[in-house]
Chain A
C-alpha cells in the first residue's frame, strides 16, 4: 500500500505525550424502540498538550457528541458502546463522579454554543464567576471577587467592575461569549473544548472572540478543541483539522495541509462549497445529503455523494489509515491518493455573467427611506405622554437605493444595522416614517393592506428561518397552492401543473408534494420557501438572510439555485445578508449598511476592492479567510467597540481608526463618487479612501497565487 512507502519517522504521539486520548470510541443514543442509534463510530484521536484542533462537519455528523465525550459526558439517552476517553492517562468514563468533577472545569473546560443559555439568568455575572472560582480553587470571598474582576478584564471586557454587577440579559452576545470564556478560564484548565464558540455572533465580534482565544492559548499553553461547521473559524484558530462525517472521523491532519491538498473527498467538498470573499464565482455544493444517523451502510458512508466513488467504495468500508506519517495525516478513503483540488473550477467557466448596471431601468427605487419601530401600544403611548420620550435616531435613516430588472442587490451589515428592516419596509410589513418606494414606475402604498394585489404579487419575501416560514400542518402541495389560489385565476388542474413545475424548478422530487415540512431537511424546506415565492411569478424577491441558517454545502446549493432561477426568469433579488463571502458570490451590486445608514454602494467588484469605506474594509478584513500563519495576517487589527447609536455625524465614527477628530462625530459625511456607480459616504478625501484605507487588505486579498484556492502557508505549527 501507499502508506508503506513513506519514511517511518517517529510518530507525533511519541514526541509529545498525549493530553487526551480517544480510543475506538463509539456512542449511540437509545431509540424509542429499544435499540441504539449509533452517532459516533470507532473514533480514535489523540490530542497533545497545547494543540489547537478543529473538528468540522455538517450538522448531524456527531461532532458535538464527540466534544461532550471529551469531558466524559453523555447526553441523556447516550450510551458508550465501545472505547475509552483518557485524559492524562486516566479513563474518564470509569471515574467516580467526584473524580470527574475534579477534572471538569479544573483541567478540562467546556465553552458551550449558546452563551446566553449557559448562564443563570437570575445571578449577577460576577457572582457566577466567583462561584466557579470558589469551587475550582477554594478562593475566599474577598479574593474571589478581585479574581473575578481580573478574569473579566483578561477576556478584554471593558468596565469589568460594572459588568460584574450586571445580569446576563443586560449583555450583548459578544459580551456573553466572553463571560463564558472567562468562566472556563476560572479553573486554569489544560484543555478547552469549545462548541461552536462564535456561531451566531457578528463577523467583527467573531473575529475578536477568536483573537482572544488565540491569545489565551498562547499565554496559557492550553490545548483547544474547536467544534464548528465554519471553515473560516477553523482557518483562523486551529492548527489541526479533524473532519467528521456520519459519526466517523474521515480525515485528520495539519490544517494547512488539509486545506492545500485534502485527503478525503468530503473535506474537499466542504472546501469547495464554502463561499470565498476573494472570488466572485459560485461555490460548489456537495450533492445529496448526509445519511440520517443510525442508517446502516456497507462500504463508505460518503460513497453516494462522492465523485471518486468506485465499486470498492460501495462494498468495503474504508479504514482510517495513516496517509502521511511526517505530517501525521490520516484519511478514511480508498482513493485518497487521487485527491486533488486542481479539478475544482474556481474561476472561469462558472463565473457569473456580470450585469451592466446601467443597462436596464430600475425596477424598484427607494428614496430617503426612514423606518422606526415606534411603540404604538397603549402603555407606550401613556409613557410618551407622562415622560417625554428620548430623542433618538430611527432604525433606518435616509436610505436610497435602486434595483434593476434581473439584478441582485445585496445589503450587508451587522445585526442591528437595519438591513432586514429595509426589506420589511419594501415588503409592506412596516410603514416607513419618511421616504418613498417606487416599484415598476409607480409609487407603492405604504403597507400590504393598502397595496394593490398586483403589487403584492410582484414582490415576494423569503424568510431566514425555513422552520418558521412553512406551516407545519400544511402539506408542501397546500403551501405552494395557496399563493396560486390567491394571486391567479388558474383552475385546479392548471395550478397542479404549475406546482409540479415549481417543485422541479427548485430541484425537489415530486413525491414531496404530499409531505409535511417536518419531514424535510432545512435545505429542502428553504427550497419549498423559494418555490412559494416563485409561485406567483414575481418581479422582485426579497431574500432575508435566507442561507445563514443552513449548512455550508446546502448553502452553496441554494445560492446556485437562486442564480440559475434568476438567469431563466429575470427576477430581481434584494439579498439581505451578513456574510460577505456569500454576497460576493451572488450580488451584482452591494450596499453596505451601518447603524441604519448606508456607507457605501457600488457594484460587487467595486465594493470588494479599493477605494474602501473604513467600515467595509473592516468587514472584509474580518471575513477574509486566514490560516494561523498566513502572511495576510498583517491585516488583522484590533476591532474596536460595538455598534453605538449616534444621531449626529458619521455613525461609524466611534469605531473608525481613520476618524478625523472633531469632524466625523459632528458632521454628516458627504457622498464621494468613484465612477458612475460607486459611492462612499466618508469625510476622508478620495485619495485617502483609495490608497489609505484597506491598503493592507488589498495586498492581503491579492497576494495569493491565482490557482491555489486556499491561502498557502507553512506546514503547520511545527
Chain B
C-alpha cells in the first residue's frame, strides 16, 4: 500500500465518497429524485448551451413578424416585438439559474454561520437575535423585497445581493435549531472538556453534521428564489428590459394572451418546471438524508 492510499484510508475517504455515492444512488432510485434531477439537468444544459441552441438574438426586434405562432424558424413563436421567444426562454434560464444559485449559496453560507454562532453561544445575543428573526417573519416578504429593490434598484447584481440577504434569517433559524441539538451531544461536551476553542468546535464538530441540512436548505431556497425573481420582474421591480427574463416576458405578453398565448405560456412552463424540479430534488434529498423538513419557506 502506498502512502497516498494509507492517507486516504485514514481520512476515511473511501467511506466518505462511498456515502456520497450511495446518496446520489438512492436519490436517483427514488421517483421524485430521478424526475427532479432530470428536469434540473435539462435546464442546466439549456442554460450552458444557450448560444448553440438559440440561433436567434434575444433582443433583435422584427416589427414585420409580431405574434408569430411556433414554426420551424421560431420554435416557440415570436412576441409582440417579433423577438424569438425560444431564444428569450433559453437565455432567461441563465439569469434565473445564476441569480438563484449565487444568492442561495451566499445566503445559506452566511445564514448557517449566523445560526451556528447563535446556537453555539446561546445566551442573550441568541435570545435577542432569534426574537428579531421571528419578528422579521411577520413582515410579508414580497413587500419587503419590493422595498429593498426600490431602494437599491434592479439589475442582476443588486438583485442577487438583496435575495441573498433575504435568506440569511430563515436559514439561520433552521441551522440554529440544528446547532442547539448538536451542542447537547456528548462529543461536543468532550471537545469542550478538552478545552477546544469555539472556532474549532464549530468547525470540527458542528459544521460536518449540518452539511446535510445546508444542502437541503440550498435547494429549497433556490426554488424560492426562482419564484421571487419572476415575481419581481413581473411587477417591474426586477430585471430591467430588454433583458430576457421569464417574469418580464410574462408581464410583457400577458395583455396579448387572447391573440397569442405563446409569449406567456412558454416562460410559465419554464418557471414551473424549474421550480418543480428543484422542489422534487430538495424533497428527495431531504428524505434520503433523513432530514425532517417542517420549516416553512417564507414568501
Contact = CB atoms under 8 A, between A and B. Distances in A.
Contacts of B195: 448-449, 451, 453, 456, 486
B204 interface: yes
B14 A514 contact: yes
A73 interface: no
B194 A483 contact: yes
Contact of A468 (B185, B196, B204, B208): B185
Interface of B: 9-12, 14-15, 124, 127, 185-187, 189-196, 204-205, 208-209
Contact of B190 (A469, A487, A496): A469
5 contacts: A429-B189, A448-B193, A451-B195, A473-B208, A515-B12
Given A465-B186, A473-B208, A514 B194 contact: no
A513 B10 contact: yes
B205 A471 contact: yes
A430 to B, nearest CB: 11
A649 interface: no
Nearest to A463: B186
Contact of A514 (B10, B187, B189): B10
B15 A514 contact: yes
Given A463-B186, A470-B187, A475 B11 contact: yes
A449 B194 CA distance: 9
A471 B208 CA distance: 9
Given A463-B186, A468-B186, A468-B187, A514 B12 contact: yes
Given A378-B127, A463-B186, A486 B12 contact: no
A400 to B, nearest CB: 23
A463 B189 contact: yes
A471 B124 contact: no
A363 B55 CA distance: 83
B210 to A, nearest CB: 10
Given A378-B124, A477-B11, 4 more contacts: A427-B193, A429-B189, A453-B195, A513-B10
A514 B9 CA distance: 6
Nearest to B187: A471
Contacts of B208: 471, 473-474
A463 B196 CA distance: 18
A478 interface: yes
A532 interface: yes
A697 to B, nearest CB: 37
Given A468-B185, A468-B187, A477 B10 contact: yes
Given A456-B195, A471-B208, A473-B209, A463 B10 contact: no
Contacts of B189: 429, 461, 463
Contact of A486 (B9, B15, B187, B196): B196
Interface residues of A, number: 36
Nearest to B15: A516
A514 B13 CA distance: 8
A252 B195 CA distance: 53
B193 A477 contact: no
A631 to B, nearest CB: 44
Contacts of B192: 429, 448
A472 B209 contact: yes
Contacts of A112: none
A428 interface: yes
Interface of A: 377-378, 427-429, 448-449, 451, 453, 456, 460-461, 463-465, 468-475, 477-478, 482-483, 486-487, 496, 513-516, 519, 532
Nearest to A542: B193
Contacts of A449: 195
Contacts of A465: 186
A85 B193 CA distance: 53
Contacts of B15: 475, 514-516, 519
Given A449-B195, A472-B209, A474-B208, A461 B10 contact: no
Contacts of B191: 482
Contacts of A464: 186
Nearest to A469: B186
A483 B187 CA distance: 12
Contact of A463 (B9, B190, B194, B205): B190
Nearest to B26: A32
Contacts of A377: 127
Nearest to B14: A514
Nearest to A466: B186
Given A475-B12, A477-B12, A428 B124 contact: no
Contacts of A378: 124, 127
Nearest to A460: B193
A191 B15 CA distance: 48
9 A-B pairs closest in CB distance: A475-B12, A473-B208, A463-B186, A469-B186, A468-B186, A514-B9, A471-B187, A477-B10, A456-B195
A258 B49 CA distance: 76
B199 to A, nearest CB: 14
Nearest to B206: A471
A473 B196 CA distance: 18
Contacts of B12: 475, 477-478, 514-516
User: Counting chain B CB atoms within 10 Å of each CB, which of A377, A456, A471, A513 scores highest?
Assistant: A471
Nearest to B185: A468
A461 B208 CA distance: 23
Given A515-B15, A516-B12, A461 B190 contact: yes
A496 B187 CA distance: 22
A428 to B, nearest CB: 7
A76 to B, nearest CB: 16
Contacts of A461: 189-190, 193
A30 to B, nearest CB: 15
Contacts of A519: 15
B209 A456 contact: no
Contacts of B187: 468-471
A486 B194 contact: yes
A198 to B, nearest CB: 25
Nearest to B205: A471
Contacts of A469: 186-187, 190
Nearest to A453: B195
B190 A429 contact: no
Nearest to B194: A486
Nearest to A481: B10
A471 B203 CA distance: 12
Nearest to B13: A514
Contacts of B205: 471
Contacts of B209: 471-473
Nearest to B191: A482
B190 A532 contact: yes
A377 B191 CA distance: 23
Contact of A482 (B9, B11, B193, B204): B204
A475 B127 CA distance: 35
Contacts of B193: 427-429, 448, 456, 460-461
B8 to A, nearest CB: 8
A429 B186 CA distance: 12
Contacts of A453: 195
User: Counting chain A CB atoms within 10 Å of each CB, which of B10, B187, B189 scores highest?
Assistant: B187
Contacts of A463: 186, 189-190
Nearest to A451: B195
A474 B19 CA distance: 13
A513 B195 CA distance: 24
Given A473-B209, A514-B15, A487 B194 contact: yes
B22 to A, nearest CB: 11
A465 B190 CA distance: 12
A232 B188 CA distance: 35
A428 B195 CA distance: 10
B98 to A, nearest CB: 31
Nearest to B209: A473
Contacts of A478: 11-12
B265 to A, nearest CB: 41
